[in-house]
Amino acid sequence: MSVKRATLLVVDDEGMVRALVRRMLEPEVCGVVEAEDGESALRLIERGQPAIDVVLTDLVMPGIDGLDIITVLARHCPGLPVICMSGFASAAATRLTVPFIPKPFSVESLRAGVEPMLARGRALRHTDALDLVAAALELRRQRAEPPETR
């Protein structure tokens, strides 16, 4: 019986960053699947094909951003490890509950951040059918509401 290698989903609105992550990790560390935005990423995870073992997401993106992805996956797919990356040291980054890799990163720092999470992700693969995009959009709607209406 062959062992299927782990798969990482890289989510970044910059194609150059996605391609760089792929070059740094494939084929030695894991397979890499790319998504150009948060909605595409959540749809890939919902489908479950390919099965995603770890999500590496940029924090700052248009639309459904990295913070939305982190929050939705923590609520609906708590067994799916998420790593955040960003070139911006924002207040949001300091409140993250997931590992953080600052951009620009080296091959060594990327692999050091990803490899331990791959083993964890393979052990805890999440397969429930969910509408993660709807959950992210609801989260954004709730954040936009004035606090007195919540």
CA–CA separation, 128 and 19 (whole Å): 29
Whole-number pLDDT of residue 133:
85
> What's the CATH fold of domain 7-149?
Rossmann fold (3.40.50)
pTM: 0.82
Q: Does residue 150 register a pLDDT over 80?
A: no
Per-residue pLDDT of 101-112, as tens digits, reads: 999 999 999 999
CB-CB contact of 31 with 78 (8 Å):
no
Q: Does residue 28 register a pLDDT over 80?
A: yes
82, 63, 79: which is closest to 133 by C-alpha? 63
CB-CB contact of 84 with 116 (8 Å):
no
Per-residue pLDDT of 40-89, as tens digits, reads: 999 999 998 888 999 999 999 999 999 999 999 999 998 899 999 998 76
Q: Does residue 2 register a pLDDT over 50?
A: no
Termini Cα distance of the chain = 52
